Amino acid sequence: MSDIGKIRIRVPSNVKAGDVVRVRCLVIHPMEIIQRDAQGKIIDRNYNYITRVTATYLGKPVVTFDLTQSVSENPAFSFALKATAPGPVKVSFVDTHGGKYEGTADIAFA
Amino acid sequence: MPEPITRRSALGRLGAVGVAVAAGTLGAGAPAGAQGPSPAFGLQESVQDGLKRVFGGRPMRDGTALIKLDIPPIAENGAVVPVSVEVNAPMTPASYVKSIWIVADKNRIPIIARATLTPEAGQAFVGANVRLGETTDVRAIVEQSDGTLLVAKREVKVTVGGCGG
pLDDT in tens, B3-23: 566 666 555 555 554 444 444
Whether B33 and B51 map to the same domain: the answer is no
Angle at B70 between CA B127 and CA A35, to 5 degrees: 60
C-alpha triplet B54, B100, A35: angle, nearest 5°: 65
Distance CA A42, CA A89 (A): 39
- Comparing CB atoms, the residue among B37, B107, B123 nearest residue A52 is B37
Within this chain, do residues B57 and B132 fall inside the same structural domain, yes or no? yes
Q: How many residues does chain B have?
A: 165
Whole-number Cα distances in Å, B144 to A9, A47, B63, B138: 28, 33, 11, 19
Q: Which domain holds residue B150?
A: 47-160
Sort out which chain A residues have CB atoms less than 8 A from B79's CB and list them. Answer: 72-73
The answer to whether residue B98 neighbours chain A at the CB level (below 8 Å) is no
**Same domain flag for B53 and B99:** yes
Q: Is the pLDDT of residue B1 over 60?
A: no
Topology (CATH level 3) of domain A7-32+44-107: Immunoglobulin-like (2.60.40)
Q: Which of B9, B30, B29 is nearest to B109 (CA)?
A: B29
In terms of domains, do B90 and B52 share one? yes
B26 inside 8 A of chain A by CB: no
Q: Are residues B127 and B79 in the same domain?
A: yes
Whether the pTM exceeds 0.90: the reply is no
Contact state of B31 with A52 under an 8 Å Cβ cutoff: no
Q: What is the dihedral of CA B85, A28, A67, B89, to 10 degrees?
A: -20
Q: Do B34 and A46 touch (CB under 8 A)?
A: yes
When divided into structural domains, chain B yields a total of: 2
For residue B117, the tally of other CB atoms under 10 A from its CB is 28
Per-residue DSSP letter, B28: G
Which residues from chain B sit within 8 angstroms of residue A94, using beta carbons?
35
Residue A92 Cα, gap to closest chain B Cα (Å):
14
Q: Which domain CATH number covers B70?
A: 2.60.40.2470
Mutation site for A-interface testing, chosen from B109, B120, B138, B156 by largest number of A Cβ within 10 Å: B120
In A, which residues are within 8 Å of B114 by CB distance? Answer: 65-66
Position B97 pLDDT exceeds 60: yes
**pLDDT exceeds 70 at position B90:** yes
Are B122 and B142 part of one and the same domain?
yes
Chain A residues whose beta carbon lies within 8 Å of the beta carbon of residue B37: 51-52, 66-68
The C-alpha of B118 sits at a distance from chain A's nearest C-alpha, in angstroms, of 5
Candidates A39, A52, A66, partner chain B, best to mutate (most B CBs within 10 A): A66
A82 to B122: CB separation less than 8 angstroms, yes or no: yes
Residue B27's CB is within 10 A of a number of other CB atoms, namely: 18
Looking at residue B2, its pLDDT comes to 56
In one-letter notation, the amino acid at residue B15 is G
The 10s digit of each residue's pLDDT in B23-74 is: 433 333 333 333 344 445 656 778 888 888 888 888 888 888 899 999 999 9
Phi/psi of residue A8, nearest 5 degrees:
-120, 130
**Is residue A26 classed as helix, strand or coil in its secondary structure?**
strand
| Residue type (1 letter), A23 | V
Whether residues B66 and B32 share a domain: the answer is: no
Residue range B103-155, pLDDT digits in tens: 998 888 888 899 999 988 888 999 999 999 889 999 999 999 988 899 999 99
| In-domain check, residue B165 | no
How confident is chain A (110 residues) per 10-residue block, as mean pLDDT? 78 86 90 82 84 91 90 90 90 89 87
